[in-house]
Structure 1
């Protein structure tokens, strides 16, 4: 069901700050999530993503600033799950309930027609498991149940925190299609994830934070283009001659199969000049933009709180 235009709402963070004692989890954060797009919410571990989502959903009170949905704090919205649907932790559910009973309780408490329980169970692929106790569900099934709960009120705003966790490849593809469809219907869809490849395949807009502060709020394409480690794909039958010249010029070179070299650190024009000097035949010379993951790693490098022993930052 497509939400009425009057119900479509933006999510807005305005100078949002949250402190826990001497620790500042979120600092002066401002961004807007608009309807009609899947907006990814990215940041390194400890960046403040979960705290921000909890403030948007009224579960944590900001120290200062505001988190608004449709211009109002979440607690002032009158229609519960019919205003905003959310999945924060799929495991946070009574394991003694069946899937149908869990959703039925939510439907009654939010004055949602009972027929919606069956509809959302069917939509998330749990119709055959409706009478099973949740305690016996896999993590992927619990994720699907959490998504069903978020969809129950047919809301114009949807917030998901790591919804891909536990899903198998078929489930990941299903979720990707679902999120895109919900956004295409004019809903506001805000998705936190640590999986760059999945965000690259799903999101159109990004909000990126680090150490509780805003790094970027822009299109995925624009963010990826900010990465400076752009690559050039070079295919040549003379890789043994060209690769040393590229390395001597300061490039990083990764050798692949069939004479493919992936070159970082030199523009295509300079690579062409070096190929000419070494008399290397070029079959391909294709500049490639940074991937989302490469841009993310580069632009958030100073915001990573925990690194492995082998990391060099």
Structure 2
């Protein structure tokens, strides 16, 4: 496991991470989310011993990462794909890292093949695209066959095939019982990949829970109903205990004045119950759709107070 306990990091008067605590468990993909400047990269660097905490502690497998003599045998990480020597070939780069960690030379060819860079092994890294550098960073993380893997924005610069490959890789690594911890700003990828989420804002913990539970906290969950008798149906559903809003309205409430066709957003009643109530009143429906919770909606709603750089802010 990765364990973070009351982790704090200050730079002068600025608090980048503020008494942060969470646990990342094996056998699952855990996404790490937060607005820009939330403290995600700083947290990852402290877990890896690259930054010294002002307070609190981190542990990997029950001990601080710095206590592991051969780091890549315990944790593989990709934090910045650009942090490589551009004059070296991919093969030379990995071979040097393998020697420094006491790893067998055969692992170099194995991981290059796994990430799809076998044919580019002799090319200088300076000529690599960002996507190729990301693949090389993943190869480096896999070199020691570690039980814990950490990735910071790993799909940046990847083409659609590369993104799909990354997604399957993370799922496979977790299925093997490894701990997979990754940050990303791509909500669609997080929805398709992560089991659990750790969400932070301004260095503080907002949520640490399964992805489905977090998504369900957003306001997007409900049933969309289309009918030519919107006001009449709204009154029926409200009497049955539902909350009803006109789609596109500023807030929830009765859609008064919308006696004609309209689309209602209903919460508090399932779609089958809504359909049965409409049938009892002989109200024809043109649409009856369950709207699933959106991770992006939940994230935007629950981190709204933690956004440091907000475009369009009134002056």
Coarse TM-score class (shorter-chain normalised): 0.7 to 0.9
Tell me the equivalent position of 2:156: 165
Query: Highest CA radius of gyration, 1 or 2?
Result: 2
1:252-279 CA-to-partner distances (Å, cap 9, x unmatched) read: 426xxxxx98754654479769967996
Aligned to 1:102, what secondary structure does the other structure show?
helix
Q: Deviation at 1:286?
A: 3.4
Q: CA RMSD in A?
A: 2.7
Classify 1:139/1:244 alpha carbon distance in 2 versus 1 (closer, same or farther; 3 Å).
farther
Q: What secondary structure does 2:45 align onto?
A: helix
1:285 to 271, 285, 288: 288
Q: Distance in 1 between matches of 2:232 and 2:132?
A: 52
- The TM-score with structure 2 as length reference comes to 0.85
The 1:115–1:23 alpha-carbon spacing in structure 2 relative to 1, beyond 3 Å, is: same
- 2:21 alignment partner in structure 1: 30
Could you tell me whether the CA contact under 8 Å between 2:230 and 2:264 is conserved in 1? no
Distance in 2 between the 1:145 and 1:163 partners?
11
Q: CA deviation at 1:289?
A: 3.3
Find the counterpart in structure 2 of residue 296 from structure 1: 299
Change (3 A) 1:279 1:212: same
1:146-225 to structure 2, matched below 5 A, reads 146-225=137-216
Contact 1:243 1:253 in 2 (8 A): no
Q: What is the deviation of 1:307?
A: 1.3
Counterpart of 1:74?
Answer: 65
Q: Structure 2: which 5+ runs fail to align?
A: 235-242, 249-260
Q: Distance in 1 between matches of 2:207 and 2:12?
A: 27
What is the TM-score with the length of structure 1 in the denominator?
A: 0.86
TM-superposed deviation, 1:193: 0.7
Q: Distance in 1 between matches of 2:128 and 2:26?
A: 33
1:251 aligns with 2:245: yes
In 2, distance between residues paired with 1:121 and 1:194?
A: 27
**Residue 116 of structure 1: CA displacement?**
0.4
Q: Is the 8 A contact 1:35 1:188 kept in 2?
A: yes
Secondary structure of 2:76's partner? strand
What aligned pairs does 1:4-83 form with structure 2 within 5 A after superposition? Answer: 10-83=1-74
Counting matched residue pairs gives 294
Task: Say whether residues 1:307 and 2:310 are aligned partners.
Answer: yes
Distance 2:264 2:96 in 1: 57
